[in-house]
A = this chain, B = another copy of it.
């Protein structure tokens, strides 16, 4: 059954509510209201220009109830994932009104005594999408998946890796292929209705949890598998998750997703890497386990005007001799067509003395 979401993003909706934006843009579930006192009275499309939704923005859960939501979605994931104290009352109000609670925060709302008791009393489900399943150690079974697997990597967090994976999956479907999207983070999970938040798994099991997702996607016998990426290979905090996806998904090809205006890793002084250094770093690491090449570059040119975007795309092509485009701004069909011939199965490295 489909949900009708009220999305809680107080103070964040117009700026950095990545989960809210992703669900509004790509989920099959409808968003009927957004809760953010900072832009109450506006519609979604007025606050965030690229979201084509007329849903109202209101100041509280109480006001959102007018629009008959069936679930409250926590629409932004603060750094570290902890729940801001001032949101508790709003979540309790939603539980009291009988809404399902859908959260991608690190702190499991279902493990919170007050929320758990309130939800149990009201017969309401709390879906902590980040809660990892029991997962095995990486086994290498992913090496035997039939479909070419594409992993999305990038120059930072929050540059659009999930969006590009979804857009290319849609483009592949339009081209007559059966494309699987593998969700590895909270927003992707909310959009697709399954998946594992790899950042929340135990470090030893993170590649195994990724492998399990690819194997699950492979059971539907798709023609191509697109794995949502996370973090960045030189992100001081999140690179281990990036590497877990690189080894655990056992990709046959990579697509590089970059915001060309990003000079340093978000919240850190660490410089972002240029295209060639990104390509070299990812390909060199994968060459030690299972080789895969970067086959295309997807730019996020949201902060540039159209001339600036075209210039950035031309520059990426010149520097790398790879297909490059902004799939949100100019559509994903051209980039998909350019990379499709490069999507072939590869093999892992094997020690000669075995």
A198 to chain B: closest residue by CB: B203
Q: Indicate the member of A238, A269, A288 with the most B CB atoms within 10 Å.
A: A288
Residues of chain B with a CB closer than 8 A to A264's CB: 350-351, 353-354
Does A48 sit within 8 A of B, measured CB to CB? Answer: no
Flag if A271 contacts B79 (CB, 8 Å).
no
A137-189, CB < 8 A from B: 137-138, 140
Residue from B203, B208, B352 within 8 A of A206 (CB atoms): B203
Binds B, one of A49-57, A240-248, A295-303, A333-341: A240-248
A246-277, CB < 8 A from B: 247-248, 263-264, 268-273, 277
Q: Does A239 contact B (CB under 8 A)?
A: yes
B351 touching A269, Cβ below 8 Å: yes
Chain A contact-residue range equals: 35 or more
Known: A80-B136, A285-B281. A207 touches B247 (CB 8 A): no
Q: Are B239 and A243 in contact (CB under 8 A)?
A: yes
A233-B288, A281-B284 are known contacts. Are A269 and B140 too (CB-CB below 8 A)? yes
Of all chain B residues, the one with the shortest Cβ separation from A208 is B237
Contact of A289 among B203, B208, B234, B285 (CB under 8 A): B234
